[in-house]
Amino acid sequence: MERTKINWANSTFNPWQGCTWVSAGCDNCYAKRQDARRLHGDKETHWGTGAARKLLSEANWLKPLAWNRKAGREGTRPRVFCASMADWADKDVPEGQRDRLWETIQHTPNLDWLLLTKRAPDIRKYLPAGWGKTGYANCWLGVSVENRKKGVPRIDKLRKVPASVRFLSVEPLLEDLGPLDLSGIHWVIIGGETGPGARSMDTGWVRSILSQCKDQGVPAWLKQLGRSPTHAGKELVLADAEGKRSSKGEDFDIWPKGLGRLKVRQLPITNA
């Protein structure tokens, strides 16, 4: 099984590639940068409203089936983050591709699929006909929550959709989110921004979310502190034993003293 650098998943699967800007969380989109680097000559971008999304090969679509067989033999349940280079609820998804994704999820019961979107109002529109009152047992639905204005309202929309697991990806965390109602939410992922132009995340914002998760009984997973985290108003220097600066702040071992309570990586409780 192909491994991913995303520490809360075991692998990633992209059914297609390409997307459109939705909110401030998209401003430094790593997927758009990667797509641009792969373009040469007169090839068109896969980003923007109406732009043709990139279709992927038949061999790519066969990978999850192989992962599922392996997981069945080994008795494991790998977590597959779906569409790291796209958004499954994008209105410009190529015809038939979303249906094929749902069929693939149904045919891989040994995999837990994590589908994340910033298009919370469109989740119900694009669910399959057989979703029912509980959803697919192996499909987790999540929304991005980067700020108060656009991100927090997505939580309520997600809460109203039936799913075996509902999760929040609070990444990139761009501000203090204030009080959160986490009823009906089963997992919260938190992370700072990385890459060129990364905006800083304050550890105080993280503490607030972790505290609320604890009080409301929701497992939390702190993915990373980000490229330029701040603590008590000062930028934190995150470096390894050789003094090489960390670009993500993902490794607990290089965190300065005093951040011990932030070292939280819990998984949701599931019935699988």
- Model confidence pLDDT, tens digit, residues 225-248: 998 899 999 999 888 777 777 889
Mean per-residue pLDDT over the chain, rounded = 94
pLDDT of res. 245: 76
* Mean pLDDT confidence for 183-191: 98
Q: What percent of the chain clears pLDDT 90, i.e. is strictly above it?
A: 83
Say what the pTM is: 0.95
Give the percent of the chain with pLDDT over 70: 97
Calculate mean pLDDT across residues 169-180: 98
pLDDT band for position 108 (cuts 50, 70, 90)? very high
pLDDT over 90 at 20, yes or no:
yes
pLDDT at position 31 over 80: yes
The residue-averaged pLDDT of 268-272 equals 81
Q: What is the rounded average pLDDT of the residues 5-21?
A: 96
What b/e readout covers 237-264, taking b as 16+ CB neighbours within 10 angstroms? ebeeeeeeebebbbeeebbeeebeebeb
Q: Tell me: pLDDT of 103 over 90.
A: yes
pLDDT tier, 14 (very low <50, low <70, confident <90, very high otherwise)? very high
pLDDT band at 39 (very low <50, low <70, confident <90, very high): low
Query: CA nearest 229: which of 258, 257, 194?
Result: 194
The better pLDDT of the pair 196, 77 is held by: 77
Per-residue pLDDT at 264 exceeds 90? yes
Which position has the higher pLDDT, 246 or 116? 116
Q: Is the pLDDT of residue 61 over 70?
A: yes
